[in-house]
Amino acid sequence: MDKIEGSIISAMHNLNISERKQINMSGIKKIVSFDNEEFLMESSQGMLLLKGTGLEIIKLDTHDGNVAIKGHVNQLTYLDDKEKIKEDSFLTKLFK
């Protein structure tokens, strides 16, 4: 973690995917939304979209920003600041 005058600039962000069945992440600031097919998370490197089937959280450490998810991973995408969440996202489905 980089620090300037006591404030945190960014946390270390790492991903480890094992056989498309488990993903371990660090540097996760918050989980914006999730269901068994999609996780939208804010990482120290930007918004992160994880898609798959049978996804579930197996570890959540909000203090250190560590998250572990199991299930079948189909897609992992970093969203640009200007990129909108696609219409088939969980949030869009929820508010239809």
What are the tens digits of pLDDT across the range 6-27?
Answer: 434 457 999 999 999 999 999 9
Sign of the dihedral defined by the CA atoms of residues 49, 28, 31, 82, in that order: negative
What residue segments make up the domains of the chain, in order of their start?
Answer: 13-94
For residue range 30-84, list pLDDT tens digits in order: 999 999 999 999 999 999 999 999 999 999 998 999 999 999 999 999 998 645 5
Fold exhibited by the domain 13-94: Immunoglobulin-like (2.60.40)
pTM listed for this prediction: 0.74
Across the strands, what pairs with 40? 33, 49
d(CA 15, CA 26): 7
Contact 1, 11 (CB under 8 A): yes
Residue among 18, 13, 16 nearest 1 (CA): 13
